[in-house]
Structure 1
Amino acid sequence: MISSYKERIASRLTLVTSMIILVVFGVIYFVANLTVIDTIDRELGLETDKHKGQIFLVNGEIRFLHMDEWEEMEHSQIQLNPIFIEIVDLNGKSMDRSPNLRENHLSFSPEKSAKKEAWTLRLGASEVRQMQIPLITAGKQEGYLLVAKSFDDSRELLNNLRNVLLILYPGILLSLFLTMRYLAGKSIEPIQQIIRKTNQITQSNLNERIPLAEANDEIGQLTRSINELLERLEASLNREKQFTSDASHELRTPLSVLRGTLEVLIRKPRTAEEYVEKIKTSLSSIDRMSATIDQLLALAREEKGKNLVKEELELITFLEEIVDETASEQNRKITFQSQSGIPIYLKANEKSLQLILGNLLQNAIKYSMPETEIFVKTGLNVGTPYIEICDSGSGISKEYLEKIFDPFFREKEAVDQLIPGTGLGLAIVKKLSQESGIKVSVSSEKGKGSTFRLDFPNS
């Protein structure tokens, strides 16, 4: 079963926090244990230092500096945090011990005496902490002094601390998980609101947007991203609707002309000249539909957003070839001007650039008088290559400059003058330019001509 997002957040945070708490509890217990042992070892050190100067071995016999110290209650009884003392010879044989040891003996460990190191051991039913030091008389070692202190109270303290930590740990984890779960639920409430609102948006109300909460946090960024996505979807859907409507209109017109022409032909017998004239009209309509379909297919291929393979080309030579070829085919005067004294190299898709320039040159030819000259210019602007196609044709009204790149858009004046075209050429130019990273711009003055400019990205 898949858990909810807030439960996954709570579980992950609880897991991480549980590891941190476990480490903290471990450190607490370790420090407490170290502190207790260090305290007892310090007391043992003081005790051994005190008795070291009071007990002597002389020729195998024990001598006490103060006999009353040996007979203290803490050496006689096993209660009240007692001190255990035992004197042994060099071989570990017990020579004397405090009465509270009774029948027990302390542990003999010569190797630890030199380091004055303490250790823990069992003494009957009790646990003690022991230290061992050598007894030296007149520079000669005669035996060892074994001193121990009860560890029962300290062990009980450490066990209580351990038990408390073990009991607290699951309780803390449970309360932590519930708290994290609640806070995670509160944190994702804005996301749940976004989900509910997004589910309400369909194709029929694509203009609705998600209300923006905090503008600077991650939820606000998510909301803005979704709203921007909805705007792009709405714009794309509107373009699709407009494209379908315009395509239907553009194809319906020549079809209507073709159908009307054929209907006229079959009403009654016609002369050969009339048949030829009507057939020419029909072929013209077919040519118009073919051109429209070809442009639609070209635009559709570019709408797929395929990645264009860019290769290095020398721009001046490339433009000279295109200008010469177009001028020869169209029988028009097209002048190429290079404003750079050095070759211009850039990376571009050759076929894509040919199609862009071909459409721009075709437009310049269609919308300018046959006797006027068309200029193709290239150069470098702050190290960036550019191309300009300039004509002295009819120009474009200012209010239409932003619309000329829309599919099927044509000025009414061009339609009235029966200038051939489908309104798709500049749409293809814009799409190809976007795919290639080329900035396309236009400046125009009505009645004086237009200049289309292509600025290439830095290679």
Structure 2
Amino acid sequence: MMVSYKERIARRLTLVTALIVLVVFAIIYLVVNFTVVESIDRELQLETDKHVGQIFLVNGEIRFVHKDEWQEQEHSQIQLNPIFIEIVDMQGKSMDRSPNLGANRLSFYPDRAKKGEAWTLKTGSREVRQMQIPLNHAGKQEGYMLVAKSFEDARELLTNLRNILLLLYPGILISLFLAMRYLAGKSIQPIQQIILKTNLISQSNLNERIPVTEPNDEIAQLTRSINGLLGRLEQSLIREKQFTSDASHELRTPLAVMRGTLEVLIRKPRETDEYVEKIKMALASIDRMSEMIEQLLSLARVGKGKMSREDVELISFTRDFAQQAEKETGRKIDFETNLATPLYTQVNEKSLQIILTNLVGNAVKYSAPKTTIQLQVGNHEGASFIQISDAGKGMSKDSLAKIFDPFYRELDQTGHSVPGTGLGLAIVKKLAVESDIQVEVESEKGLGSSFRLIFN
């Protein structure tokens, strides 16, 4: 059975409060019970202290210091809270008792006489609280004096208190549950409004946001988190649409060139050289599409699987890469480092290889043929880094914010974009994020660019 969140909150709060109220009621009852019993025990102690020096047993006979005290009214009449006294010998045989006991007797417990404690028991139809003390004469114990006080009023008080608490308890619980249920409903109203508003947001209106009513509470934090998620989804959808549009455009261009080239070839017979030239143009378009498709697949594969990391010694790795890249590109690539000891870091070696390949490829593409590409490995403020620098065309400040976007290529002086797919830096950025590598870029128009990979 489905239980609403409001009901669950109300039940949990009621359960906790019920336990607290139960503990409080139990403490109240125990405190009252202790106070009442302690008060009666104190009166019994006062009574025994008053009579213990006035009554003696001498050779089995009872003797009084003040006989009229023993015969005073409180022991000869049945009062509201009478005191009962009985004197017994060592075997517990009754020798005398107060007239208000009538035919009843007090219970005798020899083992409790020296403990000075009181206990509750039944005497006839009465419930009393009793205490007993030894009676000594000339250093010899002759018998016991039993003193008791009616416990009926105290029992009635405790019974009434218990009944009242038992009657109040379910009433309090029901009232608490209804109050908690109402308050829980009021408390989750903002969440229900958020749910209704969120259900109205779809792909067509991702630009809408949930209004933040209270700026400092948890509901506002939830609202801001959902708005942040919607913002990221919106940006992701925009990038996806832009990516799809750019990819379609970039693939459409070489296809159009190929189609135009082939259509020209079939219009009329051509010379062999002209066929060769047109076929080369078509092959160039195919190569461009192949390169772009390969880059798109690489970009799509990034982050699909969990990349393992291993210890990589950056100095030897970068030196070997520089030597290999120099052979493949035919350009001068200088390797520099000011470190005398090996420099290890945790990184995926294949991802780092792709990142360096793309960055060095861009440096080669955007710099003059005879200029040198520099690769530097170092350590700054405890962070290892690899820096790739060139003395090429550089980039404007406006371009720096866009260079990692897929298909972005800065226009040259003639207003045309530089040949390429525009996916290299997008792959670099995505691999860097997956590898926990920070990428910093410094560039100035006409003075070249510098990319720094910082390993966390």
Bin of the TM-score, shorter chain as denominator length: over 0.9
Partners of 1:74 and 1:82 within 8 A in 2: yes
Q: Does 1:207 align with 2:197?
A: no
TM-score normalized by structure 1? 0.96
Q: Deviations over 1:203-259 (max 9, x none)?
A: 111111111222232112111111111111111111100010011111111111112
Unaligned runs of 5+ in 1: none
SS of corresponding position for 2:146: strand
Q: Distance in 1 between matches of 2:214 and 2:371?
A: 60
Deviation at 1:414, TM superposition (A): 8.2
Partners of 1:311 and 1:347 within 8 A in 2: yes
- Residue of structure 1 equivalent to 2:410: 411
- Residue of structure 2 equivalent to 1:249: 249
Matches within 5 A, 1:3-402: 3-304=3-304, 306-402=305-401
Q: Distance in 2 between matches of 1:385 and 1:117?
A: 82
Partners of 1:74 and 1:81 within 8 A in 2: no
Partners of 1:10 and 1:180 within 8 A in 2: yes
Q: Distance in 2 between matches of 1:239 and 1:415?
A: 28
Partners of 1:333 and 1:372 within 8 A in 2: yes
Deviation at 1:446, TM superposition (A): 2.0
CA RMSD of the aligned region, Å?
A: 1.6
Deviation at 1:69, TM superposition (A): 2.3
Pick closer, same or farther for the CA change 1:418–1:222 going to 2, 3 Å: closer
Q: Deviations over 1:157-210 (max 9, x none)?
A: 110111111111111111111222222222222212211211111111111111
Q: Structure 2: which amino acid aligns with 1:440?
A: V
Q: Structure 2: which amino acid aligns with 1:429?
A: V
Q: 308-317 vs 224-233, which deviates more?
A: 308-317
- Residue of structure 1 equivalent to 2:421: 422
Q: 339-348 vs 24-33, which deviates more?
A: 339-348
Q: Distance in 1 between matches of 2:133 and 2:340?
A: 99
Q: Structure 1: which amino acid aligns with 2:200?
A: Q
Partners of 1:360 and 1:426 within 8 A in 2: yes
TM-score normalized by structure 2? 0.96
Q: Distance in 2 between matches of 1:93 and 1:322?
A: 113
Q: Distance in 2 between matches of 1:324 and 1:51?
A: 115
Unaligned runs of 5+ in 2: none
Deviation at 1:349, TM superposition (A): 1.1
Deviation at 1:402, TM superposition (A): 0.9
Deviation at 1:315, TM superposition (A): 1.2
Q: Structure 2: which amino acid aligns with 1:438?
A: I
Q: Distance in 1 between matches of 2:193 and 2:417?
A: 56
Deviation at 1:107, TM superposition (A): 0.3
Partners of 2:441 and 2:449 within 8 A in 1: yes
SS of corresponding position for 1:25: helix
- Residue of structure 1 equivalent to 2:437: 438
SS of corresponding position for 2:412: helix
Deviation at 1:77, TM superposition (A): 2.8
Q: 320-329 vs 436-445, which deviates more?
A: 436-445
Q: Distance in 1 between matches of 2:378 and 2:101?
A: 107
Deviation at 1:263, TM superposition (A): 1.8
Q: Structure 1: which amino acid aligns with 2:122?
A: R
Deviation at 1:417, TM superposition (A): 6.1
SS of corresponding position for 1:412: coil
SS of corresponding position for 2:117: coil
Pick closer, same or farther for the CA change 1:259–1:293 going to 2, 3 Å: same
Q: Structure 2: which amino acid aligns with 1:321?
A: D
Q: Distance in 2 between matches of 1:332 and 1:58?
A: 130
Partners of 2:312 and 2:347 within 8 A in 1: yes
Q: Distance in 1 between matches of 2:383 and 2:417?
A: 39
Q: Deviations over 1:364-383 (max 9, x none)?
A: 11112212221112212123
Partners of 1:74 and 1:80 within 8 A in 2: no
SS of corresponding position for 1:368: coil
Q: Structure 2: which amino acid aligns with 1:451?
A: S
Q: Distance in 2 between matches of 1:25 and 1:237?
A: 61
Q: Distance in 2 between matches of 1:393 and 1:138?
A: 124
SS of corresponding position for 2:56: strand
Deviation at 1:415, TM superposition (A): 9.0
Pick closer, same or farther for the CA change 1:362–1:125 going to 2, 3 Å: same
Pick closer, same or farther for the CA change 1:57–1:440 going to 2, 3 Å: same
Deviation at 1:12, TM superposition (A): 0.8
Partners of 1:56 and 1:136 within 8 A in 2: yes
Partners of 2:411 and 2:417 within 8 A in 1: no
Pick closer, same or farther for the CA change 1:377–1:298 going to 2, 3 Å: same
